[in-house]
């Protein structure tokens, strides 16, 4: 799977991932103690939706653009407001021209005491990310391989926080690599919250990942699986289904997602309503 994110920024998978990211960080605000966000595969930070790649891919039109136009209940609107307010801040003229990636969404939800470590190895993306963060003192961009960073930066000195692991899945072994390196990081920092993104194209590979991660956590309730599909997935077709594994999720998260996701099935579905899954997987 070759995943250059300029083509896919703002698609359905980004929408789901970033809603969950915003809910987790909003929950962390409930305590005054500082937290850290570690983004292992941070990307370029900000994506131009008027550029050639985004225009050719056009996936944002079926993702964030549809969500911005959707009619939501008051409860769901309040839950997704932290995420959508950030997107709107990057589009002050109302037209969608830019989409913030996970490091910029995380940065927008940091309080003065909180910090972000954004890891990006690819030179072009790293340069763009540095420019997007404008050398922010709370947001540090690190020239390091994300897989190395996963174990090198945990536990953080703040002792609270989130590790976002969102690799490009360009190599066939990345499901197994993700499971193994998550296990190594979890052994060093079992109290941290981890958010693992994965594509659901090969069901066997994704199920093995879920089982391996669930087997590592201390208790079943410490792992939450979220999957969202916009259409049936074909082996050679574009990505239609993606998932998240959240280890040590906020206790409120599952109920929040069961409120939010049913209202996204229709606006994000392609050729019919989408479908979602929120459950506690078995190892």
Looking at the annotation, which residues are catalytic? 166
Element (H, E) at 139: strand 139-142
- 3-state helix vs strand vs coil in the chain, percent to 5: 45, 20, 40
Q: Contact, 200 vs 206, CB < 8 A?
A: yes
Closest CA to 10 of 73, 40, 53: 53
- What angle, rounded to 10 degrees, do the helices at 74-89 and 253-260 form? 90
Query: In the numeric block, which tokens belong to residue 93?
Result: 């003229």
- How many C-beta neighbours within 10 Å does residue 13 have? 26
Q: Contact, 12 vs 93, CB < 8 A?
A: no
Render 218-247 in DSSP notation, one character per residue: SSGGGEEEEEEESS---TTS---EEEEEEE
Phi and psi of 66, rounded to 5°? -70, -40
Strands ordered across the beta sheet of 223-229: 139-142, 115-119, 36-39, 161-165, 193-199, 241-247, 223-229, 275-279
Distance CA(70)–CA(87), nearest Å, equals 15
Strand partners, 115: 36
């Amino acid at each position: 799977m070759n995943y250059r994110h300029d083509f896919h920024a703002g698609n359905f998978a980004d929408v789901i991932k970033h809603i969950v990211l915003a809910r987790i960080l909003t929950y962390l605000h409930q305590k005054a103690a500082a937290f850290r966000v570690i983004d292992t595969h941070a990307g370029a930070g900000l994506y131009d939706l008027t550029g050639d790649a985004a225009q050719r891919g056009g996936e944002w039109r079926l993702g964030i653009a549809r969500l911005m136009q959707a009619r939501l209940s008051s409860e769901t609107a309040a839950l997704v407001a932290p995420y959508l307010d950030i997107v709107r801040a990057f589009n002050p003229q109302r037209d969608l021209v830019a989409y913030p990636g996970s490091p910029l969404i995380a940065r927008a939800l940091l309080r003065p005491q909180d910090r972000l470590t954004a890891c990006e190895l690819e030179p072009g993306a790293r340069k763009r990310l540095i420019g997007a963060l404008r050398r922010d003192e709370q947001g540090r961009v690190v020239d390091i391989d994300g897989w190395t960073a996963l174990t090198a930066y945990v536990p953080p000195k703040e002792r609270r926080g989130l590790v976002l692991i969102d690799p490009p899945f360009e190599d066939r072994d990345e499901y197994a690599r993700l499971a193994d390196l998550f296990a190594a990081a979890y052994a060093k920092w079992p109290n941290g919250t981890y958010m693992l993104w994965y594509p659901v194209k090969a069901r066997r590979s994704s199920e093995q990942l879920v089982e391996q991660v669930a087997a590592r956590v201390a208790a079943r309730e410490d792992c939450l699986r979220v999957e969202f599909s916009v259409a049936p997935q074909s082996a050679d077709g574009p990505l239609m289904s993606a998932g998240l594994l959240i280890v040590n999720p906020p206790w409120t998260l599952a109920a929040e997602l069961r409120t939010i996701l049913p209202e996204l099935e229709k606006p994000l579905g392609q050729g019919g309503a989408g479908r979602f899954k929120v459950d506690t997987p078995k190892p």
